[in-house]
């Protein structure tokens, strides 16, 4: 096989190629390769996915049609060209770029052909390995980039339901899964078998269906339970063809209802920092083409493949991060629910101390949140462009719910004082008037005895009876005047003078001591011109805002809700600086507190009847809000938005 026959000068390229083709076909060293002659000017040796083309030089000069079917392979380094002889016109650099592998003599020996072929295939395989490494590196970089982006996304999401959806969506994306579900472990029993898996969410790119939450035990009977129990992933090529010894089964009812075919499956546990299972990811039907929908059994047969080792690795990497993020979200959700429970309990404690304002805190919160949203939607005025985050609104809601929290530091009798006198004070005055009448009766009776002893005429006795009746009528009228003045209405000047006159009256009690009908403190209470509280009691009521600030400032709200105490503590401040407790001016009052001021006044006016006032209609309440604006107490722009947006309707209050 080392000899060669020199071609005659008149031998045609076709004849020379025929001789080369025969040598290739007869060479036992190429027995494992495929040798064909698809064109008179072309012989092809195929080895696996690679091909080496052998053609006479004339094919380069004038027979390009023979090479055209292989242009893609030559360009993609899947084939190389060996030329027999040297073409008339040859740009070597261009030829190498177009797939030229070597130049041989016009009639090479079998050994020369073999060596050239061997070198060509070695070069093709080396290029293939290099491209494979490049593709693997590119894929690795892509996957790493995706995992980093996914990690950023799932570590910044704190809302549990959104996080679960994000974890499932990203898991399906990196593995090419058509569908999937996610479960969350419930219960803290040390025995995993006594815990539950709650089905929280499912996604499916091919079919649409309604899903509801349900629970299953953490046991080996289900695939998700098996994964949760054993804390390791589970990959199944076809869930309809499970191993006979598998402890778990597959429920086909979902497939039957939706006409969907579940085939390949990959389940992975979501583990906490300490290795406890907090959830399970279940991915379904890995697809060749992620964009294809699985609508028919033929689609499933054509597209669905088992989850490979790389998919399991990627999912394991994501699951390790997702488990910690899920644990954080669960803890965050527990803290949030604990905080909300504390807020609800605090509101309930406030309302139990003051049942007459039951529901006030919740209504103020609803009104304030509705007004805040209306402000964010306005496209004119000084508050145009104001936006709120979800945390901003939650902070505002907590502050609104707790704006009267300081009432727990106010005496209950002051909170519940419906009239100007406390009930025990009125009872004391009543007893004093009755004592005055009894003392008068004793005095008149004593004087009657003396009249009898003197033998005075009956007319003198009658005069004493008239005196007693007149004085008793005066005392009764005086007490009725006190009852009228005790009502929390506007006190007229004449009524005030009558009460002052009563307060100056004295009587002698049964022990002979001279006493006033009204004590100075009682006179001060009855002299309140509006409402039921004295100035001192009003100061005590106002002190609830100071108590609110003090109490709420003791709570570690964290950065997220750090302004709760400030917002709640400024809702009684006025724009003109006459509010309390700090007499802040307009620019010093937080916007959130200004919102709450409007809502607080509106609800105080329109809430159901209270012992000390009647509820006013909404139109009248709006008029009063405008009067408050005129007095520079509340923000005119916020009142405008409140009225135009009909915030009370958005808050579900009134119509």
pLDDT, tens only, 491-550:
665 577 888 888 888 888 878 888 888 989 888 888 888 788 888 888 787 878 888 888
CA distances from 509 to 116, 138, 434, 436 (A): 139, 106, 10, 6
Residue 219 has pLDDT above 60, yes or no: yes
Percent of the chain with pLDDT over 90: 29
Handedness of CA 97, 100, 101, 105 (dihedral sign): negative
Contact 146, 174 (CB under 8 A): yes
Residue 23 has pLDDT above 70, yes or no: yes
Q: Which two tokens stand for residue 199?
A: 């089905």
pLDDT digits (tens, 9 = 90+) for 248-287: 999 888 888 888 999 999 999 988 888 888 889 999 999 9
Q: What pLDDT score does 529 carry?
A: 80
Q: What pLDDT score does 592 carry?
A: 96
Mean pLDDT of 206-234: 89
Residue 3 has pLDDT above 50, yes or no: no
Which parts of 231-284 fold into alpha helices (H)?
A: 253-258
Confidence label for 95 from pLDDT (cuts 50, 70 and 90): confident
- Looking at residue 203, the DSSP 8-state letter turns out to be E
pLDDT digits (tens, 9 = 90+) for 455-488: 777 777 788 888 888 888 988 998 998 888 888 8
Helix (H, G, I), strand (E, B) or coil at 593: helix
Residue 8 has pLDDT above 50, yes or no: no
Higher-confidence position of 412 and 51: 51
pLDDT digits (tens, 9 = 90+) for 124-137: 888 877 776 666 55
Residue 209 has pLDDT above 70, yes or no: yes
Cβ-in-10-Å burial (0-12, 13-18, 19+) of 396 comes to buried
Cα torsion for 103, 106, 110, 116, to the nearest 10°? Answer: 10
CATH number given to 159-332: 3.30.450.40
| Residue 16 neighbours by CB distance under 10 Å | 21
Q: What pLDDT score does 609 carry?
A: 56
Mean of pLDDT over the chain: 85
Contact 611, 422 (CB under 8 A): no
Q: What pLDDT score does 4 carry?
A: 45
Tell me phi and psi for residue 291, to 5 degrees: -85, -15
Give the number of C-alpha atoms closer than 13 A to the C-alpha of residue 43, restricted to the C-beta side.
26
- 581 prior amide bond cis, ω within 30: yes
Q: What pLDDT score does 275 carry?
A: 85
Q: What pLDDT score does 377 carry?
A: 94
Residue 6 has pLDDT above 80, yes or no: no
Contact 628, 601 (CB under 8 A): yes
Listed as own residue / partner, the contacts of 584-587 with beta carbons closer than 8 Å and 24 or more positions apart are 586/635
Mean pLDDT of 114-131: 85
Contact 89, 82 (CB under 8 A): no
Label residues 359-393 b or e (16+ Cβ within 10 Å = b).
ebbbbbbbbbbbbbebbeebeeeebeeeebeeebb
Contact 54, 16 (CB under 8 A): no
Confidence label for 5 from pLDDT (cuts 50, 70 and 90): very low
Q: Degrees (nearest 5) of the Cα angle 497, 501, 503?
A: 115
Q: What pLDDT score does 571 carry?
A: 92
Q: What pLDDT score does 2 carry?
A: 43
Residue 11 has pLDDT above 80, yes or no: no
Mean pLDDT of 173-178: 88
Residue 70 has pLDDT above 70, yes or no: yes
Where is average pLDDT lowest: 232-241, 310-319, 387-396? 310-319
pLDDT digits (tens, 9 = 90+) for 636-652: 999 999 999 999 998 88
d(CA 1, CA 334): 84
Mean pLDDT of 217-226: 90
d(CA 602, CA 582): 22
Tell me phi and psi for residue 271, to 5 degrees: -105, 145
Which overall architecture, per CATH, does domain 354-411+537-650 show?
Orthogonal Bundle (1.10)
Query: Which of the residue ranges 90-99, 140-149, 364-373, 404-413 has the most confident prediction, judged by mean pLDDT?
Result: 364-373
pLDDT digits (tens, 9 = 90+) for 542-575: 878 888 888 888 988 888 899 999 999 999 999 9
Q: What pLDDT score does 136 carry?
A: 59
Contact 360, 641 (CB under 8 A): no
Label residues 214-247 b or e (16+ Cβ within 10 Å = b).
eebbbbbebbbbbbbbeeebbbbeebeeeeeeee
Residue 417 has pLDDT above 80, yes or no: no
Contact 192, 228 (CB under 8 A): yes
Q: Pick the closest to residue 117 from 39, 17, 59, 45 (CA basis).
A: 45
């Amino acid at each position: 096989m080392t000899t060669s026959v020199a071609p005659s000068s008149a031998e045609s390229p076709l004849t020379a190629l025929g001789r080369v083709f025969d040598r290739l076909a007869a060479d036992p060293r190429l027995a494992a390769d495929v040798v064909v002659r698809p064109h008179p000017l072309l012989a092809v040796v195929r080895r696996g996915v690679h091909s080496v083309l052998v053609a006479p030089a004339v094919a380069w000069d004038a027979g390009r049609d023979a090479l055209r079917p292989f242009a893609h392979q030559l360009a993609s380094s899947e084939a190389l060209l060996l030329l027999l002889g040297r073409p008339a016109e040859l740009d070597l650099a261009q030829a190498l770029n177009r797939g030229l592998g070597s130049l041989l003599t016009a009639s090479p020996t079998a050994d020369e052909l073999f060596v050239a072929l061997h070198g060509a295939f070695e070069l093709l395989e080396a290029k293939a390995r290099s491209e494979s490494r490049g593709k693997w590196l590119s894929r690795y970089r892509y996957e790493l980039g995706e995992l980093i982006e996914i990690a950023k996304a799932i570590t910044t999401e704190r809302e549990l339901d959104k996080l679960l959806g994000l974890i499932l969506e990203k898991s399906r994306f990196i593995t090419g899964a058509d569908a999937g579900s996610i479960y969350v472990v419930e219960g803290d029993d040390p025995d995993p078998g006594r815990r539950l898996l709650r089905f929280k969410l499912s996604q499916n790119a091919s079919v649409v269906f309604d899903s509801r939450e349900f629970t299953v035990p953490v046991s080996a009977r289900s695939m998700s339970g098996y994964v949760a129990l054993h804390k390791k992933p589970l990959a199944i090529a076809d869930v309809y063809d499970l191993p006979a010894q598998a402890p778990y089964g597959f429920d086909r009812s979902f497939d039957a209802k939706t006409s969907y075919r579940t085939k390949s499956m990959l389940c992975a546990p979501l583990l906490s920092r300490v290795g406890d299972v907090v959830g399970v990811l279940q991915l379904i039907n890995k697809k060749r083409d992620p964009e294809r929908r699985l609508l028919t059994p033929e689609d499933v047969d054509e597209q669905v493949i088992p989850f490979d080792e790389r998919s399991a690795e990627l999912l394991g990497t994501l699951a390790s991060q997702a488990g910690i993020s899920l644990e954080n979200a669960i803890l965050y959700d527990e803290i949030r629910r604990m905080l909300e429970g504390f807020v609800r309990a605090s509101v309930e404690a406030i309302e139990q101390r003051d049942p007459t304002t039951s529901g006030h805190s919740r209504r103020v919160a609803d009104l304030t949140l509705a007004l805040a949203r209306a402000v964010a939607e306005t496209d004119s005025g000084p508050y145009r462009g104001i936006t709120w985050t979800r945390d901003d609104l939650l902070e505002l809601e907590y502050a609104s719910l707790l704006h009267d929290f300081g009432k727990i530091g106010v005496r209950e009798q002051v909170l519940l004082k419906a009239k100007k006198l406390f009930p025990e004070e009125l009872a004391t005055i009543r007893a004093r008037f009755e004592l005055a009448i009894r003392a008068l009766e004793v005095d008149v009776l004593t004087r009657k005895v003396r009249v009898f002893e003197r033998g005075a005429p009956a007319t003198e006795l009658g005069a004493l009876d008239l005196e007693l009746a007149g004085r008793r009528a005066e005392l009764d009228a005086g007490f009725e005047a006190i009852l009228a003045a005790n009502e929390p209405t506007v006190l007229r000047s004449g009524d005030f003078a009558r009460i002052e006159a009563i307060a100056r009256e004295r009587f002698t009690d049964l022990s002979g001591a001279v006493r006033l009908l009204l004590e100075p403190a009682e006179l001060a209470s009855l002299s309140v011109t509006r409402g039921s509280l004295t100035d001192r009691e009003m100061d005590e009521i106002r002190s609830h805002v100071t108590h609110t600030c003090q109490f709420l400032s003791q709570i570690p709200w964290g950065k997220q809700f750090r302004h709760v105490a400030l917002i709640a503590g400024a809702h009684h401040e006025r724009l003109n600086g006459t509010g309390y407790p700090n007499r802040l001016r307009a620019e010093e009052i937080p916007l959130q507190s200004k919102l709450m001021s409007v809502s607080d006044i509106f609800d105080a006016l329109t809430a159901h009847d209270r012992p000390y006032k009647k509820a006013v209609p909404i139109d009248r309440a709006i008029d009063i809000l405008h009067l408050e604006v005129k007095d520079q107490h509340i923000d005119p722009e916020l009142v405008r938005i409140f009225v135009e947006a009909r915030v009370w309707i958005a808050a579900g209050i009134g119509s």
